[in-house]
């Protein structure tokens, strides 16, 4: 039996989440902005048609926003995460195996699913309608015998409306026809640098890449691109990951709502990021052995003095304790901080991550995390449980002294699905 995988991708996900609760915005130009209302991170189709690119800073398009009456929204990640969970929960009913690939994408293994074997397109339309009925989120679905072909099918399903939002590339003739008109840069995993090098070798379309000898591609590039060639030819090299792998790096950073001039302000923000990163570390039952921090001024403010520095340190023993990591960060920040600068952004990265139950490799006289008192781990676990149950929760005192640095969110929508006080209210006339 030929494998059949499907990629379900939400259309303009953040914008679509906002429209679920604001139907008056349907068919109107709408943009969702990044943290601190800095850049465009999601666009409605109407905004795409205006030629506004993803990631463009808001100040560069302010005139066009006013000219075309574009509705702006600050990011509401709690809402988007909850809506994503609802979409994924709906999809679970249609396939025995599901991989949540990102907040707005999921792979489904439809191999052997009887209704799908009879008519894959009809089954895809059934999934599409079910997700919209249950969540209000529009999706497109691409199908194929490999994950790469499912991705390619999804690209075509979004680009060409004649597909009805669902396309199956199991048929080799249809597959070849599509490959010959799609640029090679649209292939999953082929970045801009690889695209440039492929073009230099005379490889411009997906079909050009699919017909290359895998050995030649591996010699010219690497095993990853060679596997992509096999996937394009229907030979599966990438398995479905039903359980998401643990993160090997955890990064937490934000730009500030105001410029920070003093050390205690900067440290308060850094403490917040350390707390969040350590919480994510504990969620996957891991410990980190290496910490990196960075600070910087606003690179777009060319008239202001510029300064950026980073610092890294290997921990004496891997840990997941917020207090231990924060103490090390405090010393590193003291070393790289310089007064008389207007700081715009900072962040922390945890790396050398491994399972907390893994013994790992240590130096002869190093202490391992297993030597830490059990009450330390229980304390951190208790803090996490309290924060999950109560929105305001508890935190390191440093993070609550001054919160005016927090990013701007002047156009944030309500927490329609995660806060009892902000539920949607319907009025009858």
Question: pLDDT digit string (tens) for 73-96?
Answer: 999 988 999 999 999 999 999 999
Architecture of domain 9-112+125-144 in this structure: 3-Layer(aba) Sandwich (3.40)
Q: CA 87, 46, 254 angle in degrees (round to 5)?
A: 65
Please tell me the predicted confidence (pLDDT) of residue 359: 58
The domain limits of the chain are 9-112+125-144, 250-358+385-400
Q: How many residues are present in the chain? A: 429
Q: Which residue has the tokens 């997941």?
A: 320
Please tell me the predicted confidence (pLDDT) of residue 402: 62
In order, the DSSP letters of 9-67 are EETTHHHHHHHHH-GGGTTS-EEEE-GGG-BEEEE-HHHHHTTPPTT-BGGGSHHHHHH
Whether the Cβ atoms of residue 102 and residue 85 lie closer than 8 Å to each other: no
Output the CATH code of domain 250-358+385-400. Answer: 3.30.1490.100
Report the Cα–Cα distance between both ends of the chain, in Å, rounded: 57
C-alpha distances (whole Å) from 106 to each of 280, 337, 356 are 22, 43, 29
What are the CB-based long-range contacts (under 8 Å, 24+) for 211-220?
A: none
Please tell me the predicted confidence (pLDDT) of residue 184: 95
Question: Of 103, 75, 391, whose CA–CA distance to 255 is shortest?
Answer: 75
Please tell me the predicted confidence (pLDDT) of residue 370: 46
SS3 call for 265 = helix
Distance, in Å, from the CA atom of 388 to the CA atom of 287, rounded to the nearest integer, reads: 20
Distance, in Å, from the CA atom of 224 to the CA atom of 238, rounded to the nearest integer, reads: 10
Please tell me the predicted confidence (pLDDT) of residue 302: 79
Q: For residue 46, what are its two tokens?
A: 């109407």
Inter-axis angle of helices 223-232 and 147-159, to 10 degrees?
70
Question: Of 2, 20, 164, 168, whose CA–CA distance to 82 is shortest?
Answer: 20
Distance, in Å, from the CA atom of 404 to the CA atom of 190, rounded to the nearest integer, reads: 41
Q: Give the helix, strand, coil percentages of the chain, each rounded to 5.
A: 45, 20, 35
Please tell me the predicted confidence (pLDDT) of residue 117: 84
Tell me the whole-structure pTM to 2 decimals: 0.78
Please tell me the predicted confidence (pLDDT) of residue 151: 96
Please tell me the predicted confidence (pLDDT) of residue 386: 80
Q: Which residue stretches of the chain have pLDDT < 70?
A: 242-246, 358-373, 391-393, 395-405, 407-408, 429
């Amino acid at each position: 039996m030929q494998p059949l995988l499907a990629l379900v991708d939400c259309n303009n996900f953040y914008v679509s989440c906002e429209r679920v609760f604001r139907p008056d915005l349907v068919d109107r130009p709408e943009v969702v902005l990044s943290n601190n209302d800095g850049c465009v991170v999601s666009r409605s189709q109407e905004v795409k048609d205006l030629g506004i690119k993803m990631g463009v800073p808001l100040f560069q398009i302010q005139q066009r926003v006013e000219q075309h009456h574009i509705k702006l929204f600050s990011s509401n990640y709690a809402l988007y995460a909850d809506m994503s969970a609802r979409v994924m929960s709906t999809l679970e009913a249609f396939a025995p195996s599901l991989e949540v690939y990102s907040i707005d994408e999921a792979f489904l293994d439809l191999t052997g699913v009887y209704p799908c074997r009879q008519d894959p397109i009809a089954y895809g339309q059934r999934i599409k309608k079910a997700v919209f009925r249950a969540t209000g989120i529009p999706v497109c679905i691409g199908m194929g015998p490999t994950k790469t072909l499912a991705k390619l099918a999804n690209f075509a399903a979004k680009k060409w409306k004649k597909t009805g939002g669902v396309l199956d590339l199991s048929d080799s003739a249809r597959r070849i026809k599509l490959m010959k008109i799609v640029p090679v840069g649209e292939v999953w995993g082929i970045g801009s640098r690889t695209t440039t090098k492929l073009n230099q070798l005379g490889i411009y379309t997906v079909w050009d890449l699919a017909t290359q000898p895998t050995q030649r591609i591996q010699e010219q590039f690497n095993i990853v691109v060679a596997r992509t060639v096999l996937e394009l030819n229907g030979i599966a090299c990438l398995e479905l990951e039903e359980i998401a792998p643990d993160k090997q790096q955890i990064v937490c950073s934000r730009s500030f709502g105001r410029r920070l001039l003093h050390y205690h302000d900067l440290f308060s923000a850094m403490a917040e990021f350390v707390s969040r990163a350590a919480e994510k570390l504990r969620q996957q039952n891991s410990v980190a052995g290496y910490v990196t921090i960075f600070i910087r001024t606003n690179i777009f403010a060319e008239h202001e003095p510029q300064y950026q520095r980073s610092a890294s340190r290997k921990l004496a023993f891997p840990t997941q304790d917020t207090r231990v990591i924060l103490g090390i960060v405090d010393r590193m920040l003291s070393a790289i901080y310089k007064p008389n600068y207007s700081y715009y952004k900072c962040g922390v990265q945890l790396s050398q991550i491994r399972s907390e139950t893994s013994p790992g490799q240590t130096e002869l006289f190093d202490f391992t995390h297993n030597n830490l008192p059990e009450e330390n781990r229980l304390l951190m676990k208790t803090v996490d449980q309290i924060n999950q149950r109560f929105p305001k929760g508890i935190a390191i005192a440093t993070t609550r002294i001054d919160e005016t640095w927090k990013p701007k969110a002047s156009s944030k929508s309500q927490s329609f699905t995660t806060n009892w006080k902000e539920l949607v209210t319907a009025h009858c006339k």
